[in-house]
């Protein structure tokens, strides 16, 4: 892991170099994720079989988001960081082992219930699905994925709380590697769609196991040893009580998000292919969300947890403000680019094999609606963990519930008018409602959100993003006029990549002209990393 690179922007210390490194690691995972999705599109396409897989995977995945990577991470990281700082590594690792023991019992039982109740679960969340029996079979195969990623979330939390981000960032890449390896085997075998999704389900389990295994060596190097004991002394640990208290609030808050997804699945199940189109579009939206939003939120969240443990609220506010400015600088233009260039990007990535041009058009319309909520999604990922770190868990619960109410109401109102597009639009509006609630509540409670300049910086970013949109759209239209009309991979490459590069260059130029400070910070962090790399390469070897 590189040394810390602290950027002072209005006294707001977000370690941009660390965020850049984490973004690069996350980028590798997301690119592999796109390769995985490409293979799925080639093998299966968008139809009743792909919908069966999407719905089946959603069941353990929703529980993962709710209990493992959602509520557990939000509650565990600040508690582990506090124990590590104030009581020492031994107490912190005892806390981690206690949580592992609880997960093996509780999540193991939930996994068995999911296997037993797969049929009713599928019929309940997707009544319009054309292949419910296949979806139930796939659910039974993939339920153990929940236990694997729950344990992986604990390992990730222990590493992140100790400022070790590399292994957790790279672990999802191994999940994708496992799925890709299985997918290549299925492609070579030339299996029909129904058999391909069954094989793909086993690839999901393999990927989950690799994701957990990737983090264990780093934990062991830090001194962690598995000790699955849950005696009276461990159960009375104040850290355990704090985790369960925060998790109870987080589960209520995150359950609103899961209700949103269930509502979306319910409506989309009535149109063949819609769940797949929405899933593919959301995955593309998650590329900048994961590379930039989650990376910044992870680094900022660990910093907030440590500063909150030290009771330094001025530093907490400074970290949040810097993180939100970085989120705006990186994710607002990403959202604009996805909206303007949705069709050529989707055509390049997915329109191969059994995924046709009509599927590209449908996925592009969903992506346009999802992109509207990208900034809000990223902002929520930064702000929500901060409330848990300072023991104000009620606020993100309220924000999630209000977002859920908005999403359900908009689905009911928009689906008859816009179909599956209304599902995506309702999701984006719900994220916006959640973000506004969190930002308003933090300002009201703390009197500030990381200093001045957030609104001014956001206006500058919007102006630079407008330049990006104009340039990208103009270049894309010009290329359509001069390139051959027939579909080919070279044409897809040019239409998918050249406007993106032109738009990115225009955005950076506009950001420089508008003197957006985050551009200089990122370039400075990259120069310092390159300087360290050169110094390390030229240093004499012993």
Angstrom distance (rounded) from CA 157 to CA 165 = 10
The answer to whether residue 541 scores a pLDDT higher than 70 is no
The whole-chain average pLDDT of the chain stands at: 81
The answer to whether residue 229 scores a pLDDT higher than 80 is no
Q: What pairing do the DSSP bridges indicate for beta strands 12-14 and 7-9?
A: antiparallel
Q: What pLDDT shows up at residue 542?
A: 46
Q: Give Cα 240 to chain centroid, integer Å.
A: 27
Tens-place pLDDT, residues 395-431: 888 888 888 888 889 888 888 888 889 999 998 998 8
Q: What pLDDT shows up at residue 107?
A: 85
> What SS3 class is residue 369?
helix
Q: What pLDDT shows up at residue 9?
A: 37
Instruction: Please report which confidence band the pLDDT of residue 19 belongs to, taking 50, 70 and 90 as the band edges.
Output: low
Q: What pLDDT shows up at residue 400?
A: 82
Angstrom distance (rounded) from CA 399 to CA 440 = 10
Q: What pLDDT shows up at residue 527?
A: 67
Phi, psi at residue 242, to the nearest 5°? -65, -40
Listed range (111-115, 298-302, 481-485) with the worst mean pLDDT = 298-302
Percentage of the chain modeled with pLDDT above 70:
79
Q: What pLDDT shows up at residue 8?
A: 38
Q: What pLDDT shows up at residue 20?
A: 58
The answer to whether residue 161 scores a pLDDT higher than 90 is no
Cα torsion 345, 351, 355, 357: sign: positive
Residue with the larger pLDDT of the pair 520 and 354: 354
Instruction: Please report which confidence band the pLDDT of residue 509 belongs to, taking 50, 70 and 90 as the band edges.
Output: very high
Listed range (25-39, 100-114, 236-250) with the worst mean pLDDT = 236-250
**Residues found in the chain:** 542
Q: What pLDDT shows up at residue 172?
A: 80
Q: What pLDDT shows up at residue 52?
A: 93
Q: Which two tokens stand for residue 372?
A: 């509207």
Q: Tokens 């590798």, residue?
A: 28
Q: Which helix (H) or strand (E) holds 13?
A: strand 12-14
Q: If you average pLDDT over residues 370-393, what whole number do you get?
A: 82
Listed range (73-82, 120-129, 499-508) with the worst mean pLDDT = 73-82
Q: If you average pLDDT over residues 238-246, what whole number do you get?
A: 72
DSSP 416-444: HHHTHHHHHHHHHHHHHHHHHHHHHHHHH
The answer to whether residue 150 scores a pLDDT higher than 80 is yes
Q: If you average pLDDT over residues 315-321, what whole number do you get?
A: 74
Q: Which two tokens stand for residue 152?
A: 């992986």
Instruction: Please report which confidence band the pLDDT of residue 518 belongs to, taking 50, 70 and 90 as the band edges.
Output: confident
Burial code of 415-441, b = ≥16 C-beta within 10 A, e = fewer?
A: beebbbbbbbbbbbbbbbbbbbbbbeb
Tens-place pLDDT, residues 31-56: 888 888 889 988 898 899 999 999 99
Residue with the larger pLDDT of the pair 307 and 150: 150
The answer to whether residue 308 scores a pLDDT higher than 80 is no
Instruction: Please report which confidence band the pLDDT of residue 1 belongs to, taking 50, 70 and 90 as the band edges.
Output: very low
Return the number of other C-beta atoms located less than 10 Å from residue 394's C-beta.
13
Half-sphere exposure of 100 (CA within 13 A, CB side): 21
Burial code of 321-331, b = ≥16 C-beta within 10 A, e = fewer?
A: bbbbbbbbbbb
Listed range (286-290, 500-504, 527-531) with the worst mean pLDDT = 527-531
Q: Which two tokens stand for residue 469?
A: 């949109």
Tens-place pLDDT, residues 346-377: 999 888 888 888 999 999 999 999 999 888 98
pTM of the model: 0.74
How far CA 452 is from CA of 320, 392, 448, 515, in Å, comes to 12, 23, 8, 16
Instruction: Please report which confidence band the pLDDT of residue 305 belongs to, taking 50, 70 and 90 as the band edges.
Output: low
Residue with the larger pLDDT of the pair 422 and 244: 422
Q: What pLDDT shows up at residue 116?
A: 93
Instruction: Please report which confidence band the pLDDT of residue 304 belongs to, taking 50, 70 and 90 as the band edges.
Output: low
How far CA 237 is from CA of 48, 80, 90, 318, 347, in Å, comes to 50, 12, 13, 32, 54
Instruction: Please report which confidence band the pLDDT of residue 12 belongs to, taking 50, 70 and 90 as the band edges.
Output: very low
Closest by alpha carbon to 79, among 250, 254, 335?
A: 250
Query: Do the beta carbons of residue 38 and residue 352 sit within 8 Å?
Result: yes
Domain ranges within the chain, ordered by starting residue: 44-247
Angstrom distance (rounded) from CA 454 to CA 461 = 10
């Amino acid at each position: 892991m590189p040394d810390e690179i602290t950027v002072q922007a209005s006294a707001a210390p977000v370690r941009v170099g660390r965020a850049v490194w984490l973004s690069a690691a996350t980028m590798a995972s997301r690119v592999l994720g796109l390769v995985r999705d490409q293979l799925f599109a080639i093998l299966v396409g968008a139809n009743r079989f792909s919908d069966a897989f999407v719905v089946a995977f959603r069941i353990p995945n929703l529980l993962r988001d709710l209990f493992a990577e959602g509520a557990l991470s939000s509650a565990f990281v600040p508690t582990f960081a506090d124990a590590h700082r104030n009581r020492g590594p031994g107490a912190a690792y005892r806390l981690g082992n206690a949580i592992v023991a609880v997960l093996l019992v509780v999540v193991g039982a939930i996994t068995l219930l999911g296997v037993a109740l797969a049929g009713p679960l599928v019929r309940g969340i997707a009544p319009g699905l054309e292949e419910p029996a296949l979806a139930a079979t796939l659910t039974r195969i993939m339920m153990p994925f929940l236990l694997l990623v729950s344990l992986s979330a604990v390992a990730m939390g222990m590493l992140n709380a100790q400022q070790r981000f590399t292994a957790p960032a790279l672990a999802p890449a191994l999940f994708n590697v496992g799925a890709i390896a299985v997918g290549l085997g299925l492609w070579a075998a030339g299996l029909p769609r129904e058999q391909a999704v069954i094989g793909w389900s086993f690839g999901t389990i393999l990927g989950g196991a690799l994701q957990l295994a990737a983090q264990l060596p780093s934990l062991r190097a830090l001194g962690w040893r598995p000790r699955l004991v849950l005696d009276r002394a461990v159960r009375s640990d104040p850290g355990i009580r704090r985790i369960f208290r925060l998790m109870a609030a987080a589960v209520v808050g995150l359950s609103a998000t899961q209700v949103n997804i269930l509502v979306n699945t319910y409506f989309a199940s009535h149109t063949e292919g819609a769940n797949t189109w929405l899933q593919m579009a959301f995955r593309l939206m998650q590329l900048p969300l994961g590379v930039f939003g989650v990376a910044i939120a992870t680094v900022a969240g660990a910093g907030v947890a440590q500063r909150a443990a030290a009771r330094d609220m001025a530093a907490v506010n400074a970290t949040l403000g810097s993180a939100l400015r970085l989120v705006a600088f990186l994710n607002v233009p990403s959202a604009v680019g996805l909206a303007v260039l949705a069709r050529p990007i989707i055509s390049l990535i997915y329109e191969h094999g059994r995924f046709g041009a009509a599927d590209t058009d449908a996925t592009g319309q969903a992506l346009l609606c999802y992109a509207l909520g990208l900034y809000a999604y990223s902002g929520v990922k930064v702000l929500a963990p901060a409330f848990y770190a300072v023991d104000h868990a009620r606020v993100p619960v309220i924000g999630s519930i209000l977002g859920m109410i908005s999403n359900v109401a908009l689905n009911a109102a928009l689906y008859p008018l816009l179909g599956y597009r209304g599902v995506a639009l309702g999701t984006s509006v719900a994220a916006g409602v959640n973000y506004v609630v969190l930002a308003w509540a933090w300002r009201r409670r703390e009197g500030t959100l990381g200093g001045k300049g957030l609104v001014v910086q956001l206006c500058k970013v919007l102006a630079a993003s407008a330049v990006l949109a104009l340039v990208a759209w103009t270049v894309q239209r010009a290329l359509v006029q001069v390139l051959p009309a027939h579909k080919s991979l070279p044409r897809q490459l040019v239409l998918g990549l050249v406007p993106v590069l032109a738009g990115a260059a225009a955005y950076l130029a506009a950001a420089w002209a508008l003197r957006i400070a985050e551009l200089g910070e990122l370039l400075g962090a990259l120069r310092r990393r390159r300087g360290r790399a050169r110094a390390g390469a030229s240093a004499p070897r012993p």
